């Protein structure tokens, strides 16, 4: 058996060590594809968030307004909210703004309410509902002039749920 020259070993040993480390890391993070049950569970959680968003959209939280207005009064079926265009330059902010900032802007200004914690479950629920209605609409970040196209929901209000009875949202 011929022994490897020392120089080759000096190079080969660290390379082998890195390969081994990568294998271990990969082995630890690899997982099987999601099962049907897991996918169902994830979908149920997203739907629950969108339904909570729907309730909030129709005025379920009193502190989001001081004048009786809810998102749905001005944005029925999520119209004119255009989540697919964010982040985009908002002249009113004089900078590029995130979608949730615009939600808080509407809570504080037209509705005179208390802004939501941007990372709260309720803020994410409002996003879930609005993005849910806009599924399939191509992402098109850019300028405010591209904000007229509304979603075309398959069901009334885009979600197959009974009305809340609040405001114009008939039961």
Q: How far is the CB of 103 from ligand HEC (least distance, A)?
A: 4
- Which of 20/80 has CB closer to ligand HEC? 80
- Block residue for tokens 């809340």: 164
**Quick count: other Cβ atoms within 10 Å of Cβ 49?**
19
Which of 101, 75, 76, 79 is closest to 88 using CA atoms? Answer: 101
84 interacts with ligand HEC by CB under 6 A:
no
Q: Angle at CA 89, nearest 5°, toward 105 and 61? A: 20
CA distance 16 to 45: 44
Q: How far is the CB of 159 from ligand HEC (least distance, A)?
A: 15
103 interacts with ligand HEC by CB under 6 A:
yes
123 interacts with ligand HEC by CB under 6 A:
no
Nearest position to ligand HEC, beta carbon: 71
CA distance 153 to 143: 24
Q: Which of 50, 106, 123, 133 binds ligand HEC (CB under 6 A)?
A: 106
Q: Which of 51, 108, 124, 147 binds ligand HEC (CB under 6 A)?
A: 147
Asked if 116 and 48 touch (Cβ cutoff 8 Å), the reply is no
The greatest distance separating any two alpha carbons of the chain, rounded to the nearest whole angstrom, comes to 88
- Which of 96/156 has CB closer to ligand HEC? 96
User: What is the size of the binding site for ligand HEC (CB under 6 A)?
Assistant: 21
- Which of 85/164 has CB closer to ligand HEC? 85
142: three-class secondary structure by DSSP? coil
Give contact residues for ligand HEC (rule: CB under 6 A). Answer: 64, 69, 71, 73-75, 80-82, 85, 92, 99, 102-103, 106-107, 110-111, 126, 144, 147
């Amino acid at each position: 058996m011929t022994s490897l020259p020392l120089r080759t070993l000096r190079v080969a040993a660290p390379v082998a060590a890195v390969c081994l480390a990568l294998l271990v890391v990969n082995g630890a993070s690899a997982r099987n594809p999601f099962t049907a049950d897991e996918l169902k569970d994830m979908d149920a959680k997203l739907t629950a968030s969108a339904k909570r968003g729907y309730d909030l959209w129709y005025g379920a939280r009193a502190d989001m307004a001081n004048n009786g207005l809810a998102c749905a009064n001005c944005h029925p079926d999520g119209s004119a909210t255009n989540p697919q265009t964010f982040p985009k330059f908002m002249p009113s902010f004089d900078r590029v703004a995130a979608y949730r900032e615009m939600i808080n802007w509407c809570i504080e200004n037209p509705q005179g309410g208390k802004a939501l914690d941007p990372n709260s479950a309720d803020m994410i629920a409002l996003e879930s509902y609005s993005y849910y209605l806009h599924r399939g609409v191509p992402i098109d970040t850019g300028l405010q002039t591209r904000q007229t196209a509304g979603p075309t929901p398959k069901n009334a209000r885009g979600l197959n749920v009974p009305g809340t009875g609040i405001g114009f949202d008939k039961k």
